[in-house]
Amino acid sequence: MHIRKIILPTILYLFLSITANAQEPPVPYELTVNLLSQTEQVYINGYPVTTPIDKVVSQRENFQFTEISTRKPFFGWVVPSREKNTLQTAYRLLVASERDFLLKDSADLWDSGKVEGNCSVNILYNGKQLEPGKVYFWKVKTWDHRGEESGFSGISAFKTAQNLADYATDRYPIQKQDEYPVKINRIDEMRYFADFGKASFGRVRVNLYSDTGTDSVTIHLGETEKNGEVNRSPEASIRYSQYKIRLDKGWKTYVVAIRPDKRNTGPQAVLMPEYIGEVTPFRYCEIENYKHPLEEKDLIRETAFYPFNDFDSHFHSADTILNQVWDISKYSIKATSFLGIYVDGDRERIPYEADALINQLSHYGVARDYSMARYTHEYLIRKPTWPTEWHLQSVLIAWEDYMYTGNKLSLAHFYEDLQAKTLIALSDERGFISTRTGKVTPEVLQSIHFNGQIRDIVDWPHTGILGLEKEEGGETDGFVFTDINTVVNAFHYRTLVLMAQIAETLGKTDDQKFYNERAAKLKQSFNKHLFDKKRGVYIDGIGTDHASLHANMFPLAFGLVPENRINSVLEFIRSRGMACSVYGSQFLLDAIYDAHDAGYGLQLLTSTGERSWYNMIRVGSTITLEAWDNKYKPNQDWNHAWGAAPANLIPRKLMGIEPLEPGFRKIRIKPQPDLLKSAEIKHPTIRGDVTASFINDPGQSFRLEVDIPANTTAEIHLPFYSGRQTVHINGQPVKYRRNGNFSVIENIGSGRWDFTVER
């Protein structure tokens, strides 16, 4: 027995050692072409199929697949790692016309050779000319800073489009997925009520039986229910529709073709692709005048969405309300992606810049996809909408695209358009811009591709429209519109700052200097003419004494408030509560967290009041609303992703994960938990996943565990308690620098790290 106790562990040790030594080296993964992964995936009418992409030309099917539209695509991958502090030092990339070349580790189109450098994203093709309508194959290997060579990645494939361009943004096809009810209730002998658990955009397919072939049933679809039935007369723009089906004899499968809505299929709307068909948002389905048994498997919802991996992100905390707010916000990004472009909601199905910015940041927070945001942004450059500030937001969207992807091709291609979108042509000698002083000329409108009248918006809706009077007087907090508008000029300042950075990125040093000087001039004028020193607040504009929430939250969010004025501005912001729309809440929470008022930020995120994200859940929606409640926008729809700001506020601000350098080459992790006891997150980036979790004993101790992807470095921000505090990394003391109320640890490499700070 004693010998057995010795021999068995020895055999196990030898086995594990041999297994470890025989283990294949890690290989690059998550391969992308033009920011798209799984470019080899093929679909039939939106459903994924197993047909290889190089076989689609030989089969007569209604296939869909990603097409690469550029003559020189760019490639990317996630760097493999088994150890801490891993950095890529070289790569070798192979592109071939046949898979067999790559199986022999050779290539007939491009063998990059061993290229020294740490770039693992945005590698521009530099081989023989690619032909239109052809399938190509590629793979890559890397070397790390220890000189260790990875194995080659798996082989990936892509198909070029019939027409190739020097620049284009590619997208995935829209995808379909079959979903089944979470429950079916038999209301009476002739009616069934089905609940799919969450609303989505789709249509119904149903298996029904008839003894005679003379029966007909009625299908009711809706976003809301009332007394256990589909609500036939919902408020606002909440959707309800009904359809008659005449049954044939025996068992048959019927697809309910959705009737087009005149408004959301008009000339400005984005239309559904024919291979998907028309869709409507619904959670509930009622089948009327049907007497036979009906099971869950007989009722299918064909849901449409842009390809989305639910496992790309994760968040959970000690606060159950916060968890629910995250869940509805994350799901909203998936559910509203059904057109492959960010739209305002089902009522109109029109892209707007304000929706696009919130969608963009939220999409980045929940999925490793950058194509839908870029496509929407570039669509809106050529097809902008009417609000002044939303033209300006194109510059903000362009910069976020660059920071999250590290790819500057879009910046370069649309540089002149972005310059025009700053609306600098409307500026006066002080640096202020105005749409009301006669400077909006035909030439200005042409430069921003707009045929109409641009008008300041501040927030939406305004008092006096949709029957909104004093009690629910719009969402502008009583903002007084003047020629020099504080909110408009706060946005203008932000575009000047960002255009200076864009110019620097593109090597345009003269432009960089110009925009920096204009930004400095405007900041000086802004604080001279728009700040009320007696009250310590910003006024709505020159010519009024009124101070709104918006006139203060936007300057704070965009870096216009000097350090010595932040406290008074914050105090005023707190006094106004959530006196803005769901759109405005994005900038309100950005301002609050950037000013390090984490307590108020958490209070708003977890509020259960009427003007809260929890209220959207309480009223019965599973997708974020267009407004806080129907009373604040009587025609609102229940499928509006501009209400999903927590999908980005939680990862960016509460958990504090943001790119410090383009493409997440350097990452900041700066949790601001206030009284939140614990939380954990998985955040996708173009270079791999960032995970972070904390345990918080407020004011006493804080523990942060992180996992940093290879080929990146991180800057960690922990609470600062006092000069006597102790800070450790993996149990060992570590040096830090104090920055206000934070203890900052720099140059943390990839891998798992455990940080603690104790008073």
Question: Which pLDDT does position 58 carry in this prediction?
Answer: 83
pLDDT of residue 471: 52
Q: How many residues does the chain have?
A: 759
For residue 292, what pLDDT is reported?
Answer: 97
What type of residue is 700?
Q
> Is 274 exposed, middle or buried, given 0-12, 13-18 or 19+ CB atoms closer than 10 A?
exposed
**Model pLDDT for residues 46-96, shown as the tens digit of each residue:** 999 999 999 998 888 999 999 999 999 999 999 999 899 999 999 999 999
In the chain, residues under CATH classification 1.50.10.10 are 310-654
Q: Give the closest residue to 606 by CA, choosing from 641, 638, 654, 566.
A: 654
- The letter for the amino acid at 103 is L
pTM, to two decimals: 0.95
Are 655 and 679 a contacting pair, CB within 8 Å?
Answer: yes
Q: CATH 2.60.120.260 in the chain: give the residue spans.
A: 175-305
Which CATH number applies to 26-165?
Answer: 2.60.40.10
Geometric angle at alpha carbon 383, from 380 and 389, rounded to 5° = 60
For the chain, give every residue range classified as CATH 2.60.40.10. 26-165
Q: In the chain, which residues have pLDDT < 70?
A: 1-24, 467-472
Residues spanned by CATH 2.60.420.10 within the chain? 665-758
**What is the pLDDT at residue 467?**
59
Architecture of domain 310-654: Alpha/alpha barrel (1.50)
- Within 464-579, strands assigned E span 531-532, 537-538
Indicate the burial class of 429 (C-beta count within 10 angstroms; 0-12, 13-18, 19 or more).
exposed
Contacting residues for 683 by C-beta, under 8 A, at least 6 apart: 313, 365, 651, 655, 657, 689, 690, 691, 692
pLDDT, position 2: 43
CA-to-CA distance for 284 and 99, rounded, in angstroms? 47
Is 751 strand, coil or helix? strand
- Give the amino acid at 276: I
How far is Cα 515 from Cα 498, in angstroms, rounded to an integer?
9
Looking at domain 665-758, its CATH class is: mainly beta
Tokens describing residue 679: 């939380």
User: What pLDDT is recorded for position 565?
Assistant: 99
Q: Is 271 helix (H, G, I), strand (E, B) or coil?
A: coil
φ and ψ at residue 219, rounded to 5 degrees = -105, 125
Q: Could you tell me the two tokens for 552?
A: 């203060």
Q: What is the DSSP letter of 44?
A: E
Q: Which residues lie below 8 Å from residue 13, measured CB to CB, with a gap of 6+?
A: none
Q: From 453, 458, 536, select the one nearest 490 (Cα to Cα).
A: 458
What CATH homologous superfamily does 175-305 map to? Galactose-binding domain-like (2.60.120.260)
Tens of pLDDT, residues 617-672:
999 999 999 999 999 999 999 999 999 999 999 999 999 999 999 999 999 999 99
